[in-house]
């Protein structure tokens, strides 16, 4: 399938006329063919109007049809074959094997949400029987959830498939019954066109309403901002930088009708090496840590950017092993020239900080936008007194904070901002200290993991890829896993509504066969 430089407005593939832009190959540092046309404000308005018109018809589709639509999107993505992987690899610098895994994950997400839709549990169907004899009488009350309305989704640079055009935000919003308007990420325009057209084909294959899906391309920040400001848009999904996320949050809040923004923004993912774990195998841990740190050239939201440990000879062993393992790692290519430059600048800033020591580096044998890994060390007092050390460096860099005792380690823990993850390496000997960490980490992080590595986010029912601010703009939610659908739903109560006007999910005879809460009991 040829890439035409087009965007998607409902059923139409359209070439934008408001300027041009091109994809960029970060490995060769060359611009790529073809030229893309950017959306005008009229294009934006057309996509939003179609989404609005599609909403009632789309959310009114039977759950089975909605589920099949999600599965069809997955099928159409697979139909794109190697061309998708090749283009995504050229645009992102990510290796083909990683992108094949990411494609599988993207399709699995769509299929998981198809199951979630079929199951119908997300509707939270709840019935309270009328009590006509009570004083005052209780009416017949029923509740279900419906979609919020059209959702704006911003593609993320670091997962050109799984957090982009057909990624988790799009899949969960479509599953919730919401039309989606995507703002494609400029770092993978060709990938976005391919995936956008796969979704357009699925809309057609499944007879979904025109406007169920659109995808816009824009030259600057304006089109994204205008999308968030458009009155028909009722929620926003975003994964990216803290500045970008906060700009969208502020724009959404300044609307006449404010809307929720689910922005997954920044996290340095504290990684604890408790004494028992270091004693049991610091060298082996070091290899796992370096693999996690450099995976995807460190461009994971869950990258372990902050190691917290107690001073001592076992930490020295770990550090020596990390130094060796890091030196052996090739320098991966970063996603874009801008991200690469930001990484180089951040590393330079950190290297100049008082009390911060550069203790290990990766190799420099990369081409184009290759990033040299960098590991720093500081003592707890330095960390606690310098908020710059809490800033996320997007890339293969981490900081070891050396604590002199348990009390200092707990103080550092209380000090850190909200996080996506917190990892504890511990043995049975560390249980007392781990137990002291748990309540604080529950308040700081969306996911707590033991004796593993935070990179690699399972798509399942219990996953939480979220966390307190600034990890996300809304700690009550997750952007990965089945419950991500809840972000795009709101409850509606039906009081004494005649049976024939009730949604199927709430009818007495339970035609959808849902598990429902009836008079406070799940049935």
The residues carrying an active-site annotation are 264, 301
Q: Is 499 in the site for its own copies (CB under 8 A)?
A: no
Site residues (CB under 8 A) for its own copies, limited to 386-445: 417-418, 426, 431, 434-435, 438-439, 442-443, 445
Q: Kindly give, in sequence order, each residue whose CB lies less than 8 Å from that of residue 99, ignoring residues fewer than 6 positions away.
A: 85, 88, 89, 92, 160, 161
Residue 519 contacts its own copies per CB under 8 A: yes
Residue 183: CB partners within 8 Å, gap ≥ 6?
152, 153, 154, 155, 215, 216, 218, 223, 224, 227
475 touching its own copies, by CB under 8 A? yes
Scanning residues 84 to 143, which ones bind its own copies (CB under 8 A)?
Answer: 115, 119, 121, 124, 126-128, 136, 138-139, 141-143
- CA gyration radius, the chain: 24
Give the binding range for its own copies (CB under 8 A) out of 186-194, 337-345, 376-384, 476-484.
Answer: 476-484
Q: How far is the CB of 166 from its own copies (least distance, A)?
A: 22
Give the separation between CA 498 and CA 23, rounded to whole angstroms.
Answer: 55
* Cβ within 8 Å of residue 3, ≥6 positions away: 33, 34, 87, 190, 193, 194
Nearer to its own copies, 365 or 458 (CB): 458
Nearer to its own copies, 250 or 364 (CB): 250
Which of 403, 330, 413, 341 lies closest to 364 in space, CA to CA? 330
Phi, psi at residue 308, to the nearest 5°?
-125, 125
DSSP β-ladder status, 306-310 and 270-273: parallel
Pick from 201, 202, 155, 210: which is nearest to 179 by CA?
210
Q: How far is the CB of 114 from its own copies (least distance, A)?
A: 12
Given the rule CB under 8 A, which of 11-19, 61-69, 297-305, 478-486 is the region that contacts its own copies? 478-486
By CB under 8 A, which span of 145-153, 212-220, 271-279, 377-385 interacts with its own copies?
145-153
Answer for which of 78, 283, 429, 497 binds its own copies (CB under 8 A) is 497
Alpha helices, H only, 386-458: 406-415, 431-444
Nearest distance from C-beta of residue 452 to its own copies, angstroms? 6
Please choose, out of 34-42, 43-51, 332-340, 463-471, the segment that lies near its own copies by the rule CB under 8 A.
463-471
- CA contacts within 13 A on the Cβ side of 121: 11
Q: Which residues contact 243 (CB under 8 A, 6 or more apart)?
A: none
Stretch that binds its own copies, among 61-69, 182-190, 396-404, 488-496 (CB under 8 A): 488-496
State which residue, 186 or 413, has the beta carbon closest to its own copies: 413
Cα separation of 396 and 237, whole Å?
26
CB of 19 to its own copies, least distance (A): 33
**CA 420 vs CA 23, 332, 475: distances in Å:** 30, 24, 10
Q: How far is the CB of 257 from its own copies (least distance, A)?
A: 5
Which positions from 147 to 166 touch its own copies by CB under 8 A, shown as an x/- string? Answer: -xx-----------------
- Measured from the CB atom, the residue of 200 and 444 that comes closer to its own copies is 444
- Give the nearest distance from C-beta 190 to its own copies in angstroms: 28
Q: Residue 75 corresponds to which tokens in the numbers above?
A: 């099928």
Own/partner long-range contacts of 341-345 (Cβ < 8 Å, ≥24 apart): 342/394, 343/371, 343/393, 343/394, 343/395, 343/397, 344/371
The number of residues that bind its own copies (CB under 8 A) is 79
Residue closest to 267 by CA, chosen among 467, 409, 463, 412: 467
513 touching its own copies, by CB under 8 A:
no
Stretch 361-390 residues interacting with its own copies (CB under 8 A): none
Check residue 61 for interaction with its own copies (CB under 8 A): no
HSE-CB at 85 with a 13 A cutoff on CA atoms is 14
CB of 112 to its own copies, least distance (A): 9
Q: Can residue 354 be called a binding residue for its own copies (CB under 8 A)?
A: no
Residue pair 296/511 in contact (Cβ under 8 Å)? The answer is no
Whole-angstrom distance, CA of residue 304 vs CA of residue 270: 6
18 is a site residue for its own copies (CB under 8 A): no
Site for its own copies in 220-249 (CB under 8 A): 249
279 touches its own copies by CB under 8 A: no
Beta-carbon contacts of residue 69 (< 8 Å; ≥ 6 apart): 61, 174, 202, 203, 206, 208
Q: Which residues contact 94 (CB under 8 A, 6 or more apart)?
A: 88, 102, 160, 296, 333, 335
Q: Binding segment for its own copies among 266-274, 310-318, 347-355, 452-460 (CB under 8 A)?
A: 452-460
- The number of beta carbons lying within 10 Å of the beta carbon of residue 269 is 29
Does the footprint of its own copies cover residue 482 (CB under 8 A)? yes
Helix/strand/coil for 273 = strand
Q: Is 211 in the site for its own copies (CB under 8 A)?
A: no
- CB of 191 or CB of 413, closer to its own copies: 413
Facing residues of 378 across strands?
A: 401
State which residue, 272 or 376, has the beta carbon closest to its own copies.
272
CB of 440 to its own copies, least distance (A): 8
Per-residue contact flags (x/-) with its own copies for residues 307 to 346, judged by CB under 8 A:
----------------------------------------
For its own copies, the binding residues in 245-274 under the rule CB under 8 A are: 249-250, 253, 257-258, 260
């Amino acid at each position: 399938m040829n890439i035409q430089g087009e965007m998607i407005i409902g059923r139409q593939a359209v070439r934008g006329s408001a300027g041009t832009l091109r994809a960029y190959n970060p490995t060769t540092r060359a611009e790529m063919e073809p030229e893309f046309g950017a959306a005008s404000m009229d294009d934006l308005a057309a996509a939003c109007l179609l989404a609005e018109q599609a909403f009632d018809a789309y959310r009114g589709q039977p759950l089975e049809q909605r589920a099949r639509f999600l599965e069809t999107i997955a099928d159409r993505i697979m139909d794109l074959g190697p061309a998708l992987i090749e283009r995504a690899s050229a645009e992102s610098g990510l290796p083909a094997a990683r992108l094949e895994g990411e494609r599988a994950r993207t399709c699995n997400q769509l299929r998981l949400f198809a199951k979630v839709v079929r199951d119908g549990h997300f509707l939270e169907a709840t019935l309270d029987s009328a009590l006509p004899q009570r004083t005052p009488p209780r009416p017949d009350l029923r509740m279900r959830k419906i979609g919020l309305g059209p959702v704006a989704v911003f593609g993320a640079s670091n997962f050109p498939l799984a957090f982009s055009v057909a990624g988790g935000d799009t899949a969960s919003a479509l599953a919730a019954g919401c039309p989606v308007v995507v703002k494609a990420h400029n770092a993978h325009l060709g990938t976005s066109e391919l995936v956008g057209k796969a979704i357009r084909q699925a809309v057609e294959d499944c007879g979904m309403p025109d406007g169920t899906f659109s995808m816009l391309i824009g030259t600057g920040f304006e089109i994204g901002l205008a999308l968030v400001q458009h009155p028909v848009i009722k929620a926003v999904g975003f994964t990216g930088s803290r500045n970008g996320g906060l700009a969208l949050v502020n724009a959404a809040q300044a609307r006449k009708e404010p809307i929720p923004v689910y922005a997954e923004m920044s996290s340095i993912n504290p990684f604890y090496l408790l004494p028992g774990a270091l004693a049991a195998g610091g060298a082996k841990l070091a290899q796992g840590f370096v693999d996690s740190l450099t995976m995807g050239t460190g461009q994971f939201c869950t990258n372990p950017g902050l190691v917290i440990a107690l001073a001592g000879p076992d930490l020295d062993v770990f550090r020596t092993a990390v130094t060796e393992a890091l030196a052996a790692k090739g320098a991966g290519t970063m996603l874009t020239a801008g991200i690469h430059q930001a990484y180089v600048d951040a590393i330079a800033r950190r290297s100049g900080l008082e009390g911060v020591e550069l203790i290990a580096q990766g190799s420099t044998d990369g081409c184009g936008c290759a990033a040299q890994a960098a590991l720093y060390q500081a003592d707890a007092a330095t960390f606690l007194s310098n908020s710059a050390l809490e800033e996320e460096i997007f890339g293969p860099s981490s900081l070891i904070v050396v604590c002199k005792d348990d009390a200092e380690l707990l103080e550092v823990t209380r000090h850190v901002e909200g996080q996506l993850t917190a990892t504890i390496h511990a043995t049975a000997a560390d249980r007392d200290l781990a137990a002291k960490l748990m309540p604080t980490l529950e308040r700081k992080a969306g996911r707590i993991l033991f004796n593993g590595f935070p990179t690699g986010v399972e798509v399942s029912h219990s996953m939480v890829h979220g966390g307190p601010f600034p990890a996300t703009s809304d700690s009550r939610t997750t952007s990965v896993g089945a419950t991500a659908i809840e972000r795009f739903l709101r409850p509606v109560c039906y009081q004494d509504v005649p049976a024939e006007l009730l949604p199927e999910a709430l009818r007495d005879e339970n035609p959808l066969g849902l598990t429902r809460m009836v008079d406070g009991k799940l049935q």
